[in-house]
Structure 1
């Protein structure tokens, strides 16, 4: 999980007030981030929003509540307006979005459409005002993050949570928000960027997407004049991943060819068997 965000939360959140604070995971998928939030011990409650029924059920199973933290999984999407919308999803459920896939997107399997419930963050928190203070808001909605922020401007202005959103730099979804638009919207709400993490690049080295962490301008986090270069580590890991994929693809081809050679050998050996002598 994001080490930068983990350190930030430890610096910014008070464990003594954990019971009165909560976190929200928008686009929970299978609950990986919700589990991370729960394990920090910094929140009395984690709300996980996941519109895809399959992923919603997976999150419920993967992140059970504990004594010190209640996890509530909500089968709904968040956006700029409430209602019912189509969720677009291919075989990789992690890519599900209220936006349609871009024409250049490399689809994994057949695209399915599910009509799902959509809420706004302001609506939900307005109807659940007894939750306490929202301290962390994670948004990963595959190109629709800006709409989630627009639907939660009031809540963000009141609670001033740490926000993690996703920057997408290449075309993946129709009408996806740009990193510049997300930054502008959060700057307008008096936020500043804290870190970029989980960087993904294309085989050509082009930045594809990453996580961006923003903090309220009034949050004072100390800066130590000691620096660590992480670019090489990211570059090496990317190269390892690419080489691993290439090796797996070539191994699959080798296995197919080997099976075909064995099949042909069996045919060839069968055709060369001597005929049985007649008695």
Structure 2
């Protein structure tokens, strides 16, 4: 699979406004898809399909399995990709165990989380993190979903769950041999109660056999320029001993 650099200008962020052009992440993602011969992308926290749309615009022609727990967003996602035969919308959240959980739906739907916001979110993103409602949604283990990956699949796991990535990853253990790369968002200044710090997150993925291949700031404190969150691309390496 050879992809052209058509993602230029699509990815990146700011907090300073949260999303801003970041060509390094764009190019690196394309390199990962190519280098690791990724044929299936699992888009967790798909929202209205922004990430998946950018993959298609870049020329990715493999399977996309997209997960979105907010009903309105899941409907929009399904409608957006209705003509795409290699795209599947899963209207549920992901967690360590099957069941149901309360989801905090925020003013900015892409900020919604199973975790509650803290004072940092109110400071940095007051217009995006106001609570609209709390809804109960179904959650499943990723590796318990039938047909999510074939035996020969080579997976990229993209996690954008606002502080819940490690719980999702804990429910994907049976898929680990097929996961070749992971894109996660790490917190330096947490925006949600109970969010793991970036060192904890990276330690978990390293223990599972993944090593970082790129760090990309998502948002910064306007005054100090300290990083609030950053995207991290991880690739299959050697398990920690």
- Tell me the SS of whatever aligns to 1:105: helix
- TM-superposed CA distance for 1:48, in Å, is 0.5
Residues 13 and 39 of structure 1: is their aligned pair in 2 closer, same or farther, counting only changes over 3 Å?
farther
Pairing partner for 1:143 from 150, 163, 168: 163
- Which one has the largest radius of gyration? 1
> Whose strand fraction is larger, Structure 1's or Structure 2's?
2
Question: Does structure 2 retain, via aligned residues, the 8 Å contact 1:37–1:46?
Answer: no
Asked whether 1:83 is paired with 2:95, we answer: no
> Does residue 1:121 correspond to 2:145, yes or no?
no
Residue 217 of structure 2 contacts residue 227 of structure 2 at CA under 8 Å; is this kept in 1? no
Give CA-to-partner distance per residue, 1:109-143, whole Å, 9 cap, x none: 4431010010111111xx22664514211000000
Task: Give per-residue Cα distances to partners, 1:162-199, cap 9 Å, x unaligned.
Answer: 10011111131111122111111111111100001253
Q: Assess, with a 3 A threshold, how the Cα gap between structure 1 residues 35 and 217 changes in structure 2: closer, same or farther.
A: same
Provide Cα deviations, 1:43-78, integer angstroms capped at 9, x if missing partner.
431010000112112222333443xx6111111111
Q: 1:105 to 1:200 in 2, by over 3 A?
A: closer
Measured in 1, the distance between the counterparts of 2:58 and 2:34 equals 8
Choose from 8, 25, 34 the match for 2:32.
Answer: 8
Structure 1 residue ranges (4+ consecutive) displaced by more than 6 angstroms after TM superposition: none
Are 1:13 and 1:42, in contact at CA under 8 Å, matched by a contact in 2? no
- 1:48 corresponds to: 66
Aligned to 1:268: none
Q: After superposing the two structures, state which structure 1 stretch, 37-46 or 142-151, moved more.
A: 37-46
Counterpart contact for 2:157–2:179, Cα < 8 Å: no
Question: Quick one: higher RCO (CA 8 Å, sep 6+), 1 or 2?
Answer: 2
Deviates more, 1:163-172 or 1:40-49: 40-49
Larger fraction in helix: 1
In the other structure, the counterpart of 1:210 is 230
The number of aligned residues is 207
Q: In 2, are the aligned partners of 1:86 and 1:113 still within 8 Å (CA)? A: yes
Root-mean-square deviation over aligned CA pairs: 2.0
How many Å separate the matches in 2 of 1:113 and 1:146? 22
| Cα distance between partner residues in 2 of 1:150 and 1:130 | 17
**Cα distance change, pair 159–54 in 1 and its aligned pair in 2 (3 A):** same
- Taking the aligned partners of 1:129 and 1:54, their CA distance within structure 2 comes to 23
In 2: Cα distance, 1:117 partner to 1:154 partner: 21
8 Å contact from structure 1 (residues 24, 134) kept in 2: no
Q: Give, in whole Å, the separation in 1 of the partners of 2:71 and 2:136.
A: 11
Q: CA deviation at 1:42?
A: 4.1
Structure 2 residue aligned with 1:26: 44
Contact 2:97 2:141 in 1 (8 A): yes
Q: TM-score if structure 1 supplies the norm length?
A: 0.69
For structure 2, the 5+ residue unaligned runs are: 1-10, 12-24
